[in-house]
Homo-oligomer: A and B are copies of this chain.
Amino acid sequence: MILEIERTYSKQDKILVATDCIVFGLDQGILKLLVFKRRIDPLAGQWSLIGSFVDADESVPDAARRVLYQFTGLENIFLEELRTYSNIERDPGARCISIAQYALIRIEDYNKELVEKHGAKWFGIDELPNLLLDHNQMVFDALNRLRLKARRKPIGFELLPEKFTIPQLQLLYEAIHLRKLDDRNFRKKLLSFGLLIKLDEKDRTTSKKGAFLYKFDFEKYKVLEESGFDFVI
């Protein structure tokens, strides 16, 4: 037993710990991902998820928040662990595991200068380029997770502006689930939760009639969630 422990300790210093972020944004009804082109070796010139090694004095989500702030200027981003990628051969250059996390951001809020400065770019999920290492796999897994999660939790609101219309919300869910939803059933269901606060303003950018703006009632949802409420769409 002691020998076993010592064996593993001695080998341990060879593993590097990184985190990679799958950053989702919603741009005019299209689900997009933020990736950047590496400028330095190894793998310079290749598209990559944004990520970093984890410092000894920070947790994994803190590392992700640090790098998200660097690239977008945003703080308080929705962030959730996806899973760990730890195949021995995943990174030919080093023995490195990556704990992938996905983030949802309001695409209109990010700092454009920072994004450009780092060579980052938004791609629609259908037109994503090849990414280095196992990053395409991470994106695939993150999309599946997002779809699963969006069925049971109201995470979509993290992607929308604070004020949004019901048709906008529907477009988001259609973008996530890749299928058309019925207007009437969608509206009925969403309003039935009593979690949308109708405002007195209308958004007239997409129609002459204008659509009423709503806010999501995060406070009320928090209370409901604790008593086991399921937000199922």
List residues of A whose CB falls within 8 A of some B CB.
1-2, 4-5, 7-9, 11-17, 39-40, 52-61, 70, 81, 83-84, 86-88, 95, 97, 99, 118
A16-B12 CB under 8 A given contacts A59-B87, A81-B84, A84-B60 = yes
Contact of A53 among B9, B17, B95, B97 (CB under 8 A): B9
A56-B2 CB under 8 A given contacts A81-B84, A84-B99 = no
Interface secondary structure of A, over-half rule: mixed
Contact B87 A11 (CB under 8 A): no
Given contacts A17-B17, A59-B88, 8 further A-B contacts (CB under 8 A): A1-B39, A1-B118, A4-B70, A9-B53, A11-B53, A12-B54, A12-B55, A12-B56
Contact B81 A59 (CB under 8 A): no
Give chain B residues whose Cβ lies under 8 Å from the Cβ of A8.
Answer: 52-55
Contact A11 B56 (CB under 8 A): yes
A40-B87 CB under 8 A given contacts A17-B15, A56-B12 = no
A59-B40 CB under 8 A given contacts A8-B53, A15-B17, A53-B8 = no
Contact B84 A40 (CB under 8 A): no
Contact B40 A88 (CB under 8 A): no
Contact of A81 among B54, B60, B83 (CB under 8 A): B83
Contact A86 B12 (CB under 8 A): no
Give chain B residues whose Cβ lies under 8 Å from the Cβ of A58.
Answer: 88
Contact A5 B40 (CB under 8 A): yes
